[in-house]
Structure 1
Amino acid sequence: MKVIIVGGGIGGLATAVAFHRRGWQVVVLERAAEFTEVGAGLTIQPNGLRALDAIGLGERLRAGGLADPLAGIRSRRGDWLVRNDVGSLKRRFGSWVTVHRAALVDLLRAVVPPDALRSGIEVQHVQRDGTVRHSGGTSTADLVVGADGVHSVTRRSLWSHLPGPRYVGYTTWRLIAPPQRVEGSVETWGRGERFGHVPMPDGRIYCYVMANAPAGSRVGLDELRERFARWHHPIPALLGSAQEEAVLQHDTHELPMLPTYVSGKVAVLGDAAHAMTPNLGQGACQALEDAVTLAHAVDTLGVRAGLEAYDRTRRPRTQLIVRRSRQAGAAAHWTSTPLTVLRDAVLPLLPTRFFARSLIPAYTWTI
């Protein structure tokens, strides 16, 4: 049996590993000149690690160093708005790991046969019958998997009548700062903007910044430093230590709900199926879940029944996570002063279980 995977990012490579381990012939078509990941840090949460366990890679990632879940949310002055019981979260759900995105891609790529990885191939159209037209010609397979991101050619080929990605109103910067002392993983909320920092095992600090902005607008590091100069420590120091070339900026998109993730012999997964806001940090984790679930279903039940089972299992779950993620970050992007003052006064009064409700469905997944 043969599977063609469109896209060689985290979701695509995880899919390749999952099918290769089940004895399938695997072909991965990647538009870029090489298989790598442009990005910064990435936190793999307990459900994502369990997905990696299913393809034999969870312990390898854990061996690089464990991380803590989000310690909580602060105001721009440094007051705690939300405090998480980090120890309880780890005891209840398992491990967290923070890595560079490229390191996870390298881990996955190393397990896929080199002759299965075909870079520099631009896919132009995908058909329901498993035919893929691309810059190198035409290929066919028993199954085609579209793991080609938020602007997926696979999705456009088969669901061309449906709306495309929607800009959610804020842009995101990501960077890695040099090693320095920080108080765990913390997110800070202002008015229409926020800043998060996450320690990495090698001592460096993964930082992300989100701010309301028109689509397509671009802001450099100097402007970010000025914008966050009066926020609490260590935010100014982290931005001050970063290098301009280390900063990546991308507009944030969400994908409208698809009525199905499958069509004929084709399935979509990851951002191609359910691109979501990064507020719960679940994008990569959901792609990993998709990959192992799809491989298990199709290899166990056959292509047709397996695709039906994949869609029946994954679509409700991922669309729930999309909604929860949207809701989780909404209050951070309020711009009204009275509303943000009220938010900062009310959040510390809410019980911890109020916030846990949005997290439990994500963390408790098993295949």
Structure 2
Amino acid sequence: MLLFMGAKRAVVVGGGIGGLTAAAALRTRGWDVVVCERAASLDPVGSGLSLGPNALRALDTIGLGQGTRELAAIDGVSGIRRSGGRWLVRADVTAPMLEKYGDLAVIALRAELVDLLLTRLPEGTVKTSTTVSAVDPVSGSVTTSEGVLEADLVVAADGVRSVVREALFPGHPGARYSGATTWRFVVPEPGRGFRTTETWGRGDVFGVMPLSGKRIYCYASAVAPAGQTFADERAELLRRFGDWHDPIPELVAAADPAKILHNDVYWIADPLPAYHSGRVAILGDAAHAMSPNLGQGACQAIEDAVVLASLADRPDGLARYTAARLPRTRMVVQNSHRVSRMVGLHSPLATAARDAFMWGVGRFGSAALIRQTARVFEWTPPRLSDS
């Protein structure tokens, strides 16, 4: 239980999407907040993200939902193709999405969402190049490279390799390698309209997402050993995807090799026993890192942040935060992993069966596709202003 006399002070460890959303949401609830980010700058420019209706509703609670919609590309037409170009699923989900959820998924550049979140934080709130080496869950003291900070609440949003998580739950196995590695980059739109598509091969995937400002966000994944890197990442992408259907080779060729992000995918297969300990709450990838296949990593971190802010100053608030978030995020993690395993199938027989299944799903139309998203998208955030 947290008891407060006077100003409520929070220290957020990590300046990613989850940490900045938590800082903004806690500010909405009257907290003084400091964000400690170990990197010298907040986010790479070459990473995009999908924000579903659930995340947009959460951002609405801190006054940033509409701003996010305005900076992002909105696309209701999407599909899945084979590497040769044949469509497996193709649907316009605009009308059923709007009818069921009142929103479409939007596609944004991560760095631009970071900038938008920073508009809700006073100058000096985020301290970059600040490393956290220890957190005391009983007292709330946070040892940083700049000194010791005292907090009523510590928010661990320090990512998949969370130092705070390892300290609080030393017996937990932590994140494990998913078996897949990913590449991400942004290129200018090459003179024609694009739709959101994902192309599946034998263990390899290539995704194309239009961004605002006539830009294209591309991502690729492949089954590969952990830790493998390449002197020329673009050349490796061309080797893997250069004979796939248009416009994939053209998009890869247009990428700046210096701006291609290459990261292995780790996920938390074994759930944490709780998302809190003492005065510390854990959120985002630090709590429930997942594969990117449902596009819910950032979305769930944003949900975590607003739920935590709504409960943190209540009796047993952090225990209630765990009770609210652990079952839901576990469901999303497991569902995303199932999709990851299906996409990562490699044998000709298994991929043929997978593709036949997806073709069948597509025949039921957009309404059937929408039903598959209901457990994730049908979520209502708390009201921060009067909760």
TM-score range, shorter chain: over 0.9
Instruction: Please tell me whether residue 310 in structure 1 is matched to residue 325 in structure 2.
Output: no
Q: Which amino acid aligns with 1:277?
A: S
Partner residue in 2 for 1:224: 237
Partner residue in 2 for 1:133: 143
Out of 26, 36, 41, the position equivalent to 1:19 is 26
1:127–1:157 CA contact under 8 A, matched in 2? no
Q: Which amino acid aligns with 1:250?
A: N
C-alpha separation between the residues in 1 aligned to 2:176 and 2:77?
27
Deviation at 1:358, TM superposition (A): 4.2
Aligned pair in 2 of structure 1 residues 226, 316: CA closer, same or farther (>3 Å)? Answer: same
Q: Which amino acid aligns with 2:13?
A: V
1:49–1:95 CA contact under 8 A, matched in 2? no
Partner residue in 1 for 2:304: 290
Superposition pairs of residues 181-260 of structure 1, within 5 angstroms = 181-219=192-230, 220-255=233-268, 256-260=270-274
2:73–2:108 CA contact under 8 A, matched in 1? no
> What do the CA deviations read for 1:68-115 (whole angstroms, capped 9, x no partner)?
156121111111212334222233221322221111111111211123
Partner residue in 1 for 2:338: 327
Aligned pair in 2 of structure 1 residues 328, 292: CA closer, same or farther (>3 Å)? Answer: same
Q: Which amino acid aligns with 2:87?
A: W
C-alpha separation between the residues in 1 aligned to 2:319 and 2:29?
19
Q: Which amino acid aligns with 2:360?
A: L
Partner residue in 2 for 1:159: 169
Structure 1's unaligned 5+ residue stretches are none
Deviation at 1:138, TM superposition (A): 1.6
Out of 85, 91, 105, the position equivalent to 2:99 is 91
Out of 273, 286, 293, the position equivalent to 1:272 is 286
Q: Which amino acid aligns with 2:348?
A: T
1:176–1:204 CA contact under 8 A, matched in 2? yes
Aligned pair in 2 of structure 1 residues 355, 254: CA closer, same or farther (>3 Å)? Answer: farther
Instruction: Please tell me whether residue 48 in structure 1 is matched to residue 59 in structure 2.
Output: no
The two structures have a TM-score, normalised by structure 2, of 0.90
Deviation at 1:160, TM superposition (A): 1.1
Identity %: 46
Superposition pairs of residues 98-177 of structure 1, within 5 angstroms = 98-129=107-138, 130-177=140-187
Partner residue in 1 for 2:385: none
Structure 2's unaligned 5+ residue stretches are 1-7, 382-387
- Once the two structures are overlaid, the 10-residue window that deviates more, 270-279 or 219-228, is 219-228
Q: Which amino acid aligns with 2:174?
A: G
1:324–1:358 CA contact under 8 A, matched in 2? no
Deviation at 1:213, TM superposition (A): 0.4
1:37–1:105 CA contact under 8 A, matched in 2? no
Moved over 6 A (4+): none
> What do the CA deviations read for 1:275-308 (whole angstroms, capped 9, x no partner)?
0000000000111100000001123x24xx1111
Cα RMSD after superposing both structures: 1.6
- Once the two structures are overlaid, the 10-residue window that deviates more, 114-123 or 356-365, is 356-365
Deviation at 1:356, TM superposition (A): 4.2
Aligned pair in 2 of structure 1 residues 231, 65: CA closer, same or farther (>3 Å)? Answer: same
C-alpha separation between the residues in 1 aligned to 2:117 and 2:91?
32
> What do the CA deviations read for 1:184-229 (whole angstroms, capped 9, x no partner)?
1000100010100000111111000000000011241112112212
1:127–1:158 CA contact under 8 A, matched in 2? no
C-alpha separation between the residues in 1 aligned to 2:290 and 2:54?
17
